Amino acid sequence: MKFKFKTVKVLIITLAILTFNANFLYAKGQVDMFEKLLSNKNIEVTEYSVTATFKANSQGFDTCDIILNRVSTILGEMEYTKTNEGEFNNIVFLSEDYRGTITSTAYNNENIFTITIIKKDKENKTKELKSKLSEILSHINSRITYSQCIKGKILSNNLDEINNYVMDTLEQGKVKNINRAKLYNGYSIICNTNLYSSKKVGAVDVDFHCAVVKYSSGCYLVMGTPEITLDY
């Protein structure tokens, strides 16, 4: 009996390890939707952003000020403007390479802090920017959620071609809850890829939002998780 029990125990542990490794390999093998869509040679990155959000009991204005000092230390000196309107604080900062905002809003005896950093670049380096933002906020003890956004110029200026390419890519990726809406200057698409943190839109989960839009300066593909935060 002891031998059988030990054999079953070893088998269960082995299966657990194999299952964990399979899930780990699957997770590592998942294709990042940003990279997949940006692999189209007709799309060139123009700028990207990373946003961090957290709640804390600390004073809004003082915490925003501390974060600004850490931004200047890690990213370089910034020009900035500060606005203090009681329960709402806002800092807008700018340098040659970066721009962004730091805000705090009072809510239910806490402050909700949101920090966004934007960088113009022709390469997608959101992972590097997120790493820098994590370093800036390394003194924060609260749970921090991150989101990202990328804007790319459509070099062919063919709006419908890229719109169809995006829809085909999403459908081939077997994403859920795809919903496309017509805009006055293009299309807006939301869906759930199960790759990023999601939010509820109506009764469905959404973790990816993209827009294919046209302006006088050209056509653009803008993508965000779980929503777009860059102007479009």
Q: Do 170 and 220 fall into the same domain?
A: yes
**Does 109 fall in a domain?**
yes
Top pLDDT among 97 and 16 is at 97
d(CA 198, CA 38): 21
- What are the tens digits of pLDDT across the range 161-179? 999 999 999 999 889 999 9
The last residue of one of the domains, among 127, 148, 169, is: 148
**Does 101 fall in a domain?**
yes
Average pLDDT, the chain: 86
CATH number at 127 reads: 3.30.310.180
Please say whether the beta carbons of 186 and 218 come within 8 A: no
Q: Do 77 and 119 fall into the same domain?
A: yes
**Does 215 fall in a domain?**
yes
Mean pLDDT of 82-96: 93
Indicate the number of domains in the chain.
Answer: 2
**Does 1 fall in a domain?**
no
pLDDT for 162 equals: 96
d(CA 205, CA 199): 6
Side-by-side strand order, sheet with 43-56: 79-85, 88-94, 98-107, 110-120, 43-56, 145-154, 218-224, 208-215, 186-192, 176-183
Q: Do 121 and 165 fall into the same domain?
A: no
**Does 38 fall in a domain?**
yes
N residues, the chain: 232
d(CA 186, CA 120): 23
Two tokens, residue 174:
């077997």
d(CA 210, CA 217): 19
pLDDT for 30 equals: 52
The last residue of one of the domains, among 148, 180, 201, is: 148
Query: Which H/E stretch holds residue 134?
Result: helix 126-136
d(CA 185, CA 207): 23
Q: Do 135 and 196 fall into the same domain?
A: no
What angle separates helix 126-136 from helix 60-75, to the nearest 10 degrees? 130
Please say whether the beta carbons of 210 and 189 come within 8 A: yes
User: 210 is in which domain, residue-wise?
Assistant: 30-43+152-224
**Does 144 fall in a domain?**
yes
Q: Do 56 and 109 fall into the same domain?
A: yes
**Does 181 fall in a domain?**
yes
Q: Do 60 and 142 fall into the same domain?
A: yes
**Does 183 fall in a domain?**
yes
Q: Do 94 and 170 fall into the same domain?
A: no
Whole-Å CA distances, 181 to 178, 188, 232: 10, 5, 15
Q: Do 87 and 106 fall into the same domain?
A: yes
- What are the tens digits of pLDDT across the range 102-157? 999 999 889 999 999 999 999 999 999 999 999 999 999 999 999 999 999 999 99
The last residue of one of the domains, among 108, 131, 148, is: 148
